[in-house]
Amino acid sequence: QVQLVESGGGLVQAGGSLRLSCAASGRTFSSYAMGWFRQAPGKEREFVAVISWSAGLAYHSDSVKGRFTISRDNAKNTVYLQMNSLKPEDTAIYYCAAARSRTIVGLTAPRTMDYWGQGTQVTVSS
């Protein structure tokens, strides 16, 4: 069992930056692939980024590539999402998720993740 708690959301102006954190409980954090998803009002939850258990592989959606960076620190049981050059269309609730997987292949659909955090609100004003 893994419990995930996100933090770092807030209100920021367009062009600004935020760093989201996701603290995980459990001694087996390093064996999980970790991902970030987001959901805007009236829209389906969408993939943002995923990182392998060893942090050796990472993949970002086209909509955030070059602006967002996922990373993890297994010693701290924490995964991060650095968000730069934020746009109003990035406004959403951001969710951290974990998958019992040694690969990140295919981990872009919400149904592929096994555990979820409660989410943190990110609002980007124009």
Measured CA to CA, the distance from residue 117 to residue 121 in angstroms comes to 12
pLDDT at 56: 85
**Tokens representing residue 48 in the block:** 């943002």
Measured CA to CA, the distance from residue 78 to residue 21 in angstroms comes to 7
pLDDT tens sequence across 83-124 = 999 999 999 999 999 999 988 989 999 999 999 999 999 999
User: How many C-beta atoms lie closer than 10 Å to residue 5's C-beta?
Assistant: 14
pLDDT tens sequence across 44-79 = 999 999 999 888 899 999 999 999 999 999 999 999
Contact of 82 with 71, CB cutoff 8 Å: yes
pLDDT at 121: 98
Q: How far is CA 71 from CA 22, 24, 50, 56, 77, in A?
A: 11, 14, 9, 10, 11
Residue 91: name the closest of 34, 4, 18 by CA: 18
